[in-house]
A and B are shown apart, each in its own frame.
Chain A
């Protein structure tokens, strides 16, 4: 096995452990929590807000390929797609498909 291969295997192992840690600790902690309790409602709020924070961070300060599109173009795509989502009575298919087409088109022609 080459050095690179064994490095990659270690990186995958470390990534998997770091990810499973959050999931399993969540399960452990939740054993003592009742679904009608205030602490459950607090964690529910934190879960939704953390997801929202993650998604908006990905759009505004993206890593990887998305960073190749300008901030303005990314925001236009998101706003248009959210508009389509509500116009289409909360249908998720139209904005999802439109987002890829619109972003690719805007990058090419703007």
Chain B
């Protein structure tokens, strides 16, 4: 069903010194501590990362919960902030398609889609046989998802020992790591323009529409970058 060799290769891909494990761990450590501070118990914190596994969405959930937002409001706010997962899925799953693989693998493993696993997969997919990329992906996803869950548990358990300054320090690790990773992936005009324009337009659109800024900024920058890439070709 799952080719263990490829799965294991994916699982072990987070072992390298510069893998996203550190950034992912720090961020979910902070989430674990945050969830405890807002009144979640151990099981609830665990299941939050187990079922959601999307840092910005969990942050929005925590903030919305704190201010007593309705379930519908929470749904819309989380959907908006996690809408980036749609283009990420569309730009990755075609690379994993194989007629030899059952569809359920794609619909179950899409739960593992996150910035960390996506960037690893985009970097390494060419080295894997097309028919078994989905197994490799499931390995990467299992590894990054497990790190997130374990870090949430750890954050929950050590939250009393984390000072405010330490929490702030942990919060910057994730954006810095992933921004550097994005800069490192600027291999052509289209992707380079996407990253640079997205970086500028995200905060610019926030001034007009805080809720939709990521979508507006991302789509506008992506479309311009696409045409820049096509024009250059």
What residues of chain A have their CB less than 8 Å away from a CB belonging to chain B?
4-5, 7-27, 29-31, 33-35, 38, 40-66, 68-69, 74, 77-78, 81-82, 85, 90-93, 95-97, 99-101, 103-104, 107-108
Chain A residues near B75 (CB-CB < 8 A): 14-15, 17-18
B115 within 8 A of A: yes
Inter-chain residue pair count (beta carbon < 8 A): 322
Task: Please tell me which one of the listed residues A11, A61, A66, A101 contacts residue B74 in the complex, with CB atoms under 8 A apart.
Answer: A11
Closest to B79 in A: A18
Task: Report the separation of the CA atoms of residues A64 and B168 in the bound assembly, to the nearest whole angstrom.
Answer: 9
Task: Supply 18 further A-B pairs (C-beta < 8 A) apart from A46-B91, A46-B218, A92-B180.
Answer: A12-B52, A15-B61, A15-B74, A15-B75, A22-B84, A26-B85, A26-B113, A42-B223, A46-B226, A48-B182, A50-B215, A51-B115, A52-B202, A52-B221, A53-B198, A57-B213, A63-B59, A65-B171
Interface string of B148-173 (1 = CB under 8 A from A): 00000000000000001111111111
Task: Please tell me which one of the listed residues A8, A26, A45, A81 contacts residue B110 in the complex, with CB atoms under 8 A apart.
Answer: A26
Chain A nearest CB, measured from B191 CB (Å): 5
Closest to B38 in A: A8
Contact residues, B168-191 vs A (CB, 8 A)? 168-185, 190-191
| Interface pair A11/B30, CB less than 8 Å apart | no
| Interface pair A24/B168, CB less than 8 Å apart | no
Chain B residues near A58 (CB-CB < 8 A): 56, 174-175
16 A-B pairs (CB sep. < 8 Å): A15-B74, A15-B78, A26-B113, A41-B226, A42-B223, A46-B91, A47-B91, A47-B222, A48-B191, A50-B217, A52-B197, A53-B201, A54-B214, A65-B30, A85-B180, A107-B168
